[in-house]
Chain A
Amino acid sequence: MVRGLIPDPVARQPWQVIVPLTLLVTFGSTVLYSAGGGSLYPWALTHFLRFFVFLAMAIVISRVRQPTFKQLAYPLYGVVVVLLVLVEAIGGIAGGSQRWLNLGFMTLQPSELMKPLIVLVLARFYDDLPPSMTASWRALVPAAALLGVPAGLIIIQPDLGTALAVTFGAVVVVFLSGVPLWWFISAAVVGAVAAPLAFFTVLHDYQRQRVFVFLDPAKDPLGTGYHILQSTIAIGSGGLFGKGFGNGSQSHLDYLPEAHTDFVFATMAEEWGMLGGLFVIGTFAWIIHWGMRVARDAPDRFAQLLAAGMTFTIFFYVCINLMMVMGLAPVVGIPLPFMSHGGSSMMTNMICIGTIMAVENWTRQAPRALS
Chain B
Amino acid sequence: MIWPFRRERNRQTLARHISSGTLTNSFARRRVLVGAVQGGVGVLLAARMGYIALFENARYQMLSESNRVNLSLIPPRRGWLLDRFGAPLASNRADFRVDLIPERLVDTDRTLAELGQLLSLTAVEVQDLKDKIEKSRGFQPVEVATKLDLDAFSAVSVRLPELSGVIAQRGFVRFYPTGPAVAHLIGYVGPASAEEYEQDRNPLLITPGYKVGKDGLEKEFETTLRGVPGARRSEVTASGRVVRELDTREDVPGDPIKLTIDGGLQDYAARRIGLESAAVVVVDCHTGGLLTVASMPAFDPNGFVGGIGRLQWKMLNEDDHIPLLNKALRGLYPPGSTMKPMATLALQQHGVDPEERINCPGGYRLGNRFFRCDAVHGSVDMRGAIEHSCNTYFWSMAHRVGYDAIAPVAKLLGLGQQFELPGTKQRYGTVPDAAWKMRRYKQEWTEADSLNAAIGQGYVSVSPLQLAVMTSRIASGRLLQPSLIFSQHKGESAALPFTPEQLAVSHDGMFRVVNGSGTATASKLQLGDIQMAGKTGTAQVRALVSRGHVGDWKTRDHSLFVGYAPANAPRYALAVVVEHGTFGARAAAPIARDVLTYLFDPGKAWDTLLAMEQGWGGTPMERMEAKYRAYAAAYGTSAPKVGDDQEVQETITQADNTEVPAADAAALPDARPEEPPSPGASPSPSPAASAKPTPVTTATPPPAADRPAAGAP
A253-B243, A277-B53 known; A178-B237 Cβ under 8 A: no
Could you tell me how many residues of chain A have their Cβ less than 8 Å away from some Cβ of chain B?
53
Task: Tell me if B31 and A281 are in contact (CB < 8 A).
Answer: no
Shortest Cβ distance from residue B340 to the other chain A in the assembled complex, whole angstroms: 74
Complex alpha-carbon distance, A161 and B464, angstroms: 82
Task: Tell me if B64 and A234 are in contact (CB < 8 A).
Answer: yes
Q: Is A191 an interface residue (CB 8 A)?
A: no
Complex alpha-carbon distance, A232 and B27, angstroms: 38
Q: Specify the main secondary structure of chain B where it touches its partner.
A: helix
Complex alpha-carbon distance, A253 and B28, angstroms: 49
Q: Is B197 an interface residue (CB 8 A)?
A: no
Task: Tell me if A240 and B53 are in contact (CB < 8 A).
Answer: yes
Shortest Cβ distance from residue B483 to the other chain A in the assembled complex, whole angstroms: 55
Shortest Cβ distance from residue B142 to the other chain A in the assembled complex, whole angstroms: 21
B interface bracket (residues with beta carbon within 8 Å of A): 35 or more
Shortest Cβ distance from residue A192 to the other chain B in the assembled complex, whole angstroms: 18
Q: Is A97 an interface residue (CB 8 A)?
A: no
When the two chains form the complex, which single residue of B5, B18, B44, B68 contacts A135, counting CB atoms closer than 8 Å?
Answer: B18
Complex alpha-carbon distance, A180 and B61, angstroms: 50
List chain A residues, Cβ under 8 A from B554.
none
A135-B16, A237-B57 known; A176-B48 Cβ under 8 A: no
A240-B53, A269-B53, A326-B45 known; A253-B63 Cβ under 8 A: no
Complex alpha-carbon distance, A323 and B41, angstroms: 9
Task: Tell me if A285 and B60 are in contact (CB < 8 A).
Answer: no
Complex alpha-carbon distance, A289 and B61, angstroms: 34
- Quick one: which of A301-321 are within 8 Å of B by CB? 301, 304-305, 308, 312, 315, 319
Q: Is B494 an interface residue (CB 8 A)?
A: no
Task: Tell me if B67 and A295 are in contact (CB < 8 A).
Answer: no
List chain B residues, Cβ under 8 A from A326.
45, 48-49, 52
Task: Tell me if B235 and A253 are in contact (CB < 8 A).
Answer: yes
List chain B residues, Cβ under 8 A from A284.
42
When the two chains form the complex, which single residue of A131, A175, A240 contacts B22, counting CB atoms closer than 8 Å?
Answer: A131
Complex alpha-carbon distance, A172 and B23, angstroms: 15
Q: Mark B36-56, 1 if CB is under 8 A from A, else 0.
A: 001101101110111011101
Q: Is B696 an interface residue (CB 8 A)?
A: no
Q: Is A102 an interface residue (CB 8 A)?
A: no
Q: Is A128 an interface residue (CB 8 A)?
A: no
Q: Is B648 an interface residue (CB 8 A)?
A: no
Task: Tell me if A328 and B48 are in contact (CB < 8 A).
Answer: yes
A274-B54, A292-B38, A315-B38 known; A235-B63 Cβ under 8 A: no
List chain B residues, Cβ under 8 A from A135.
12, 16, 18
Q: Is A220 an interface residue (CB 8 A)?
A: no
Q: Is B202 an interface residue (CB 8 A)?
A: no
Task: Tell me if A292 and B63 are in contact (CB < 8 A).
Answer: no
Q: Is B19 an interface residue (CB 8 A)?
A: yes
Complex alpha-carbon distance, A180 and B67, angstroms: 53
A180-B12, A235-B53, A239-B61 known; A175-B19 Cβ under 8 A: no
Task: Tell me if A131 and B45 are in contact (CB < 8 A).
Answer: no
Q: Is B34 an interface residue (CB 8 A)?
A: yes
Task: Tell me if A238 and B53 are in contact (CB < 8 A).
Answer: yes
Task: Tell me if B23 and A134 are in contact (CB < 8 A).
Answer: yes
Task: Tell me if B52 and A250 are in contact (CB < 8 A).
Answer: no
Q: Is A116 an interface residue (CB 8 A)?
A: no
Q: Is B614 an interface residue (CB 8 A)?
A: no
List chain B residues, Cβ under 8 A from A288.
38, 42
List chain A residues, Cβ under 8 A from B35.
289, 292
A180-B12, A285-B42, A308-B34 known; A236-B23 Cβ under 8 A: no
When the two chains form the complex, which single residue of B34, B42, B67 contacts A255, counting CB atoms closer than 8 Å?
Answer: B67
A177-B23, A288-B38 known; A131-B18 Cβ under 8 A: yes
Q: Mark A134-172, 1 if CB is under 8 A from B, else 0.
A: 110000000000000000000000000000000000001
Chain A interface (Cβ within 8 Å of chain B)?
A: 131-132, 134-135, 172, 175-178, 180-182, 230, 232-240, 249-250, 253-255, 269-270, 273-274, 277-278, 281, 284-285, 288-289, 292, 295-296, 301, 304-305, 308, 312, 315, 319, 322-323, 326-328
12 contacts between A and B (CB under 8 A): A132-B17, A135-B16, A176-B27, A178-B18, A232-B52, A236-B64, A237-B57, A238-B57, A250-B68, A292-B35, A304-B27, A326-B52
Excluding A233-B63, A327-B52, 14 further A-B contacts by CB distance (< 8 Å) are: A132-B16, A135-B16, A181-B8, A181-B9, A232-B52, A235-B52, A236-B61, A236-B64, A253-B236, A254-B239, A292-B34, A308-B31, A312-B38, A328-B45
What 7 A-B pairs are tightest by C-beta distance, nearest first?
A: A236-B60, A237-B64, A178-B26, A236-B52, A254-B238, A249-B68, A178-B23
